[in-house]
Amino acid sequence: MMVMSEIVRILKSSKKVLIVTHISPDGDGIGSTLALLHGLNKLGIEGDIVIDDDVPGDFRFLPKSDKILKYSPEIENHYDAAVAIDCSDEGRMGRAEELYSKVPVKINVDHHISNTMYADYNVVDSNSGACAELVYQLIKLLGVEFDNRIATCLYCSLATDTGRFMYGNTTSITHEVAADLLNNGADLRKISEEIFEKKTLSQVLLICEALKTLRVVEDGSIAYIVVTKAMLEKCGAKPSDTEGLVYYPRCIDGVEIGLLFKEEDGRIKVSFRSKALDVSKVAAVFGGGGHVLASGCFVEAPMEEAIERVVRACADAIKGGR
Ligand code: 5GP
Ligand code: MN
């Protein structure tokens, strides 16, 4: 990819690089940004990862995750280049976009089909299981030698975004990259323990509460669950503790689209998960986006109205798809 070699040239001639990822950051966003930071630092290039959100507890074991900066207007903007990772559009960066947009050279590394190609240099490949596959290539082209820290960060990204190598976005390339990362010391045991095998009591209580709200509608083709602020408070859970809950409505036999509706500062965050239908298009109706089988959006409406509108759009998409 020509654009990759341009990006390598830009990064190598930079003194300090801004790295951003999306709000409600996930394993791919955190792992890929950290891997790039490690890679740049090994070349003597400074970098700041800035996220307009907290780092979820599950990922705090990753090396240098304590260096991630939470967005604040006080952060001095003295970057030569900026790299956005796992952001399909600038809006996904939240307020980190204020920093990103003012950096002279902007780079976009992403794997969302809905990416808007907003940067000066765009590396977007919707066939990649995770951004980690693209960052892996980038680090290689930078001439950085892989070590166990880079490998662990990238493996965390791959394992989370592919649902532990289970979703349809998992390819032979994903496995080849994963194999190379294991050869370079990726700490598989730690990743499994910290991310997949450990839940806080609050997280388990929230699963119980959320499952009580399960509804199956439209002749069994759509199922959804709801998480309100009151439920989070009752369980002592954090907003990021809803990660993974949308698995339950989707996994039901016969369900084509599973949904999670989450109350968030006066608006409703919707997560879409599908078995075949392109839900990135349904999310786009509400100004969101994502992947074919996993997407999201925000709806500015009370909960009941958001549910009604989104379920109707999903039902229309199911009927249209037949
Ligand atoms: P989740 O439901 O786990 O938050 O997100 C699923 C996928 O949809 C992720 O790839 C995420 O980046 C994307 N996504 C979630 N919310 C939004 C949104 O509001 N806008 C866009 N463009 N993508 C979203
Ligand atoms: Mn991703």
Question: Which amino acid is it at 141?
Answer: L
Q: What number does the ligand 1 atom closest to the CA of 114 have? A: 22
Q: Ligand 1 centre from 298 Cα, in Å?
A: 9
Which residue puts its alpha carbon closest to atom 19 of ligand 1? 297
pLDDT at 321: 78
Instruction: Name the residue of 23, 51, 88 to mutate for ligand 1: max ligand atoms within 8 A of Cβ.
Output: 88
Which residue puts its alpha carbon closest to atom 10 of ligand 1? 290
Pick the CATH number of 2-196 from 3.90.1640.10, 3.40.50.11030, 3.30.365.10, 3.50.50.60: 3.90.1640.10
> Of the ligands numbered here, which is closest to the C-alpha atom of 31?
2
Which residue puts its alpha carbon closest to atom 15 of ligand 1? 296
Q: Return left, alpha or beta for 20; rule: phi > 0 is left, psi -120 to 50 is alpha, else beta.
A: beta
Q: Express the helix, strand and coil content of the chain in percent, nearest 5 each.
A: 45, 20, 35
> Of the ligands numbered here, which is closest to the C-alpha atom of 85?
2
Question: Which amino acid is it at 116?
Answer: T
pLDDT at 1: 67
> Of the ligands numbered here, which is closest to the C-alpha atom of 160?
2
User: What is the rounded distance in angstroms from the CA atom of residue 293 to the CA atom of residue 152?
Assistant: 26
Beta-sheet pairing, 267-274 with 257-264 = antiparallel
Which residue puts its alpha carbon closest to atom 3 of ligand 1? 271
CATH T-level fold of 201-321: Diaminopimelate Epimerase; Chain A, domain 1 (3.10.310)
User: What is the rounded distance in angstroms from the CA atom of residue 191 to the CA atom of residue 155?
Assistant: 8
User: What is the rounded distance in angstroms from the CA atom of residue 111 to the CA atom of residue 291?
Assistant: 8
Supply the pTM of this predicted model: 0.94
Neighbour-count burial for 215-233, b at 16+ CB within 10 Å, e otherwise: eeebeebbbbbbbbeebbe
Q: Where in the chain is the domain with CATH 3.10.310.30?
A: 201-321
pLDDT at 308: 98
Supply φ then ψ for residue 85, to 5 degrees.
-125, 130
Q: What number does the ligand 1 atom closest to the CA of 161 have? A: 10
pLDDT at 322: 61
pLDDT tens-digit profile of 39-97? 999 999 999 999 999 999 899 999 999 999 999 999 999 999 999 999 999 999 999 99
Q: Where in the chain is the domain with CATH 3.90.1640.10?
A: 2-196
Which residue puts its alpha carbon closest to atom 8 of ligand 1? 295
User: What is the rounded distance in angstroms from the CA atom of residue 241 to the CA atom of residue 260?
Assistant: 13
Query: In the chain, which residues have pLDDT < 70?
Result: 1, 322
User: What is the rounded distance in angstroms from the CA atom of residue 108 to the CA atom of residue 118?
Assistant: 7
Residues within 6 Å of ligand 1 by CB = 22, 24, 88-89, 92, 112, 114, 271, 288-291, 294-298
